[in-house]
A and B are shown apart, each in its own frame.
Chain A
Amino acid sequence: MSDTSCDVVIVGAGIVGSACACECAHEGLRVAVIDQDAAPGGATSAAMGHIVVMDDSEAQFALTRYSQVLWYKLRSELPADAEYDQCGTIWVASDEEEMTEARRKAANYGRGGVPAQLLTTADLERLEPKLRKGMAGGLLVPQDSVLYPPAAARFLLERAREKGARLHLGRPVEKMGRGRVQLADGSEFSAAVIVNAAGTWAPALTVGVNVTKRKGHLLITDRHPGFLRHELVELGYLKSVASFTSDSVAFNIQPRKTGQLLIGSSRQFGADTKEVDHAVLRAMLARAQQYMPELGRTSAIRVWTGFRAATPDKLPLIGPSVEDSTIYLATGHEGLGITTSLATAKLMVDQLTGRNPEIPAAPYLPSRTVSLENAHA
């Protein structure tokens, strides 16, 4: 039984599971990582890789800032193919209303110790000349960065392996609970702790996980070096992602080290198939062209979709599940799991080892949703 009994079994080798594996192995725990796929097949292989501080809530701000710093510290160890690039984010304000939001954000980031600089119309035109002229301004967050998620995830997983974690890839888990994990091939693992890091699949493995799929579209262009320098996000974004139920598109564009441009973004609920939805794609691209008219002439190479694991309060689930104390959840990262994977892993290990976390862990505990539902009832 020596091969199949360990301290922690992590189900899911996306970026969240990989980060958890790396952190657990580093702690000296005996770790097994199981994934149904040989390659990261979930959201991690479809994501944009924007490492970004967000402040929709205080808890979101704490988690993303903690992660942003962790990625920065890791940067020199990341392999070249992870393409880490601290290009910074510019939140683009198209009008005065959005500029007010930029100012609020600037003040908030300042209070939290995150460097951020307000930009005037002229600043914006100088920094990103391809933006439509006459925008109200923006907010530059220079410590945000971009990376290539599949390569970053693989790096974390490889690290975990070097530190003794055992990888079992291409092996679907059928069920788990009470310290046991049963695979589709009939084999079984036992462990004190089982981490459900199965992303959008998490509810299939643990009852009571309130995570739904939020579909997104992305488009990558051919190489257009110099077209763009920062990751640009429209400030109207907040207004469009805030609503939990309606489909929306927003302008979001990322420069890749290769000179390619990654264009997003869309959010759809209740869309279950991975086929490109052309109405959504058209709306998303039309939106992008409103901000950068010359995008219309760039050459699109590929469009794809992915699914984010969304929770009602837009915060991930990190910690013991309510139903089964041997199961820890690490899912529900929605559109920020690339960023927050590193902090998730830290918080997870702190809980397993009883250490004091660097940021309060309570806002992400799965038990909160139960109390939240009770409060609403």
Chain B
Amino acid sequence: MTSAAKTEVDTLVVGGGPAGMWAALSAAECGMRVAVADDNPEMGGQVWRAELAKTAPEVAGLIQKLREAGVQLLAGTQVVDQVAPGVLLAEGDGGASYLGFGKLILATGAREQFLPFPGWTLPRVIGAGGLQALVKSGLPVRGKRLVLAGTGPLLLAVAAYLRAHGAEIAMICEQASRSALASFGAALLRQPEKLLQALSLRKALTGIPLALNCWVVAAHGTVAVEGIDIWHEGKVKRIACEYLACGFHLVPNTELATLLGCRLVNGYVEVDEFQRTSRPGIFCAGEPTGIGGLELSVVEGKVAGLAAAGREKAARKFFRRRRMLGAFARAMDRTFALRPELKNLVEAETIVCRCEDVSYAQLEREVSWRMAKLMTRCGMGPCQGRICGPVTKFLLGWSPDSVRPPLFPVTVGTLAHSFSGCNVDDNQER
């Protein structure tokens, strides 16, 4: 057994998105020794993802500040397990490492929610955020005809991004109803900066058909998607496209919090006003506490960082702004709630668990997520239910059970690395 590298800090932040970077900076500026671990090759998280290995402009300045404050930036470091109280195990390009901490801030962000429909497993049917990430790492979309379907502002943001990179956006299909959006628009009016963002997006998207009350019912193609059927105004329409980018809003990444024993409420990590979870010394900021967008993640990160450093009074200064942004987040949840009709898209033979090839018909026979896992291996593949878990929650009302380590697939070698003496009677030493 070889020993792994070890990092020791006062405050460890997991997740280098907006929430994590601001949490780290806030704690470090109070004199704490801080490290941030993120599994991407560069810091930035989802919104500020590096483009062609070039740090996003929004992040460059922040990274500079983090460096000046002495924060250790552990990019390409994926946290996979807790091996002892106060010690996390991570795997990265350099192999296994141990991260020891006094306080821990979870800023693990969110991932996309997928929904199955006939044809959703065809090549080039892809998550909207995922396609954006692929383009950022070099996939060309110039001249490609694509459709975005699903719900929420992420669709618009990604559409604008892809258009700027030369893609031809045939249509944006938003499942939310006009009336839901109208009341959301009213909420937007109370948030000048959000409104400005919306207006600039609208400019970037002029000329692109945006259909409301509209959703994809099937994708067709032989080797990859060639066209899709959408439901719009009471009819099914066929549209040709080379990519279908889907996004049915976001799901919080709560697996690490769950593994550490933090309490969840309605699927989100429960936190108090100082972003403290139910476990002493563990804080949570950003999307795992609620899908609230960039600004809310930043504010929560600041509060968590200050609170972790014991600066409650300074943290309080952000409470008002957080309250305002939180109201917006709740309005967003209401507006983009998935309509029940989307539960009917899936057919008996539609694959729901892509890792283990489990069809909807197989799942319908089971009574719970645990039973389905046991009997069909749904959710037991490499993605560990990150995609099909939220899907079955929506389709069948199942709630996920406990989280098992490792959080992500990791080499057996990494799990075998010793970190302290092992006291088990190994046959070798008999």
**Minimum CB distance partner of B418 in chain A:** A282
**Minimum CB distance partner of A305 in chain B:** B404
A290 lies within 8 A of B428 (CB):
yes
Complex interface: stretch among B36-44, B119-127, B373-381: B373-381
Determine whether A184 belongs to the interface, using a CB cutoff of 8 Å to chain B: no
A45 lies within 8 A of B374 (CB):
yes
Determine whether B425 belongs to the interface, using a CB cutoff of 8 Å to chain A: yes
B375 lies within 8 A of A263 (CB):
no
Residues of B within 8 A of A295 (CB): 412-413
* 0/1 string, A270-299, CB within 8 A of B gives 1: 000000101111110111111000011111
Given A298-B411, A299-B409, A301-B384, A287 and B404 contact (CB-CB distance below 8 Å): no
Residues of B within 8 A of A246 (CB): 425
The one of B84, B375, B414, B427 that contacts A234, using a Cβ cutoff of 8 Å: B427
B380 lies within 8 A of A301 (CB):
yes
Determine whether A303 belongs to the interface, using a CB cutoff of 8 Å to chain B: yes
**Minimum CB distance partner of B370 in chain A:** A39
Interchain CA distance A178-B415 in the complex, whole Å? 50
Determine whether B367 belongs to the interface, using a CB cutoff of 8 Å to chain A: yes
Given A296-B412, A296-B416, A303-B406, A286 and B368 contact (CB-CB distance below 8 Å): no
Given A154-B375, A299-B411, A302-B404, A248 and B427 contact (CB-CB distance below 8 Å): yes
Interchain CA distance A278-B420 in the complex, whole Å? 10
Given A279-B422, A287-B426, A219 and B1 contact (CB-CB distance below 8 Å): no
B422 lies within 8 A of A282 (CB):
yes
**Minimum CB distance partner of A298 in chain B:** B412
Interchain CA distance A236-B416 in the complex, whole Å? 20
**Minimum CB distance partner of A251 in chain B:** B427
A38 lies within 8 A of B426 (CB):
no
Residues of A within 8 A of B404 (CB): 276, 302-304
Residues of B within 8 A of A303 (CB): 404-406, 415
B367 lies within 8 A of A248 (CB):
no
Give the most central of B367, B382, B424, B427: most A CB within 10 Å.
Answer: B424
Interchain CA distance A236-B428 in the complex, whole Å? 9
Interchain CA distance A234-B427 in the complex, whole Å? 10
Determine whether A369 belongs to the interface, using a CB cutoff of 8 Å to chain B: no
B411 lies within 8 A of A300 (CB):
yes
Residues of B within 8 A of A150 (CB): 374-375
Given A39-B370, A278-B83, A295-B412, A287 and B382 contact (CB-CB distance below 8 Å): no
The one of B384, B414, B416 that contacts A286, using a Cβ cutoff of 8 Å: B416
Residues of B within 8 A of A101 (CB): none
A40 lies within 8 A of B1 (CB):
no
Given A150-B375, A240-B430, A297 and B425 contact (CB-CB distance below 8 Å): no
Determine whether B410 belongs to the interface, using a CB cutoff of 8 Å to chain A: yes
Given A296-B412, A300-B409, A302-B380, A279 and B425 contact (CB-CB distance below 8 Å): no
Residues of B within 8 A of A297 (CB): 411-413
A236 lies within 8 A of B413 (CB):
no
A151 lies within 8 A of B1 (CB):
no
The one of A39, A248, A286, A304 that contacts B1, using a Cβ cutoff of 8 Å: A286
Given A246-B425, A249-B426, A287-B427, A282 and B417 contact (CB-CB distance below 8 Å): yes
Residues of A within 8 A of B368 (CB): 38-39
The one of A234, A247, A285 that contacts B416, using a Cβ cutoff of 8 Å: A285
Given A38-B368, A81-B375, A296 and B413 contact (CB-CB distance below 8 Å): yes
Interface residues of B, Cβ cutoff 8 Å to A: 1, 81, 83-84, 367-368, 370-371, 374-376, 380-382, 384, 404-406, 409-418, 420, 422-428, 430
30 contacts between A and B (CB under 8 A): A38-B371, A39-B368, A39-B371, A40-B374, A45-B374, A81-B375, A150-B375, A154-B375, A222-B382, A236-B430, A239-B427, A248-B424, A248-B427, A249-B425, A263-B412, A278-B83, A279-B420, A281-B415, A286-B416, A286-B422, A287-B427, A295-B413, A297-B413, A299-B411, A299-B412, A300-B406, A301-B406, A302-B384, A302-B406, A304-B404
A249-B424, A296-B412 known, 18 other contacts, Cβ within 8 Å: A39-B368, A81-B375, A81-B376, A219-B412, A221-B412, A246-B425, A250-B427, A287-B426, A290-B428, A295-B412, A298-B412, A300-B406, A301-B381, A301-B409, A302-B384, A302-B405, A303-B405, A304-B404
Interface residues of A, Cβ cutoff 8 Å to B: 38-40, 45, 81, 150-151, 154, 219-222, 234, 236, 239-240, 246-250, 263, 266, 276, 278-283, 285-290, 295-304
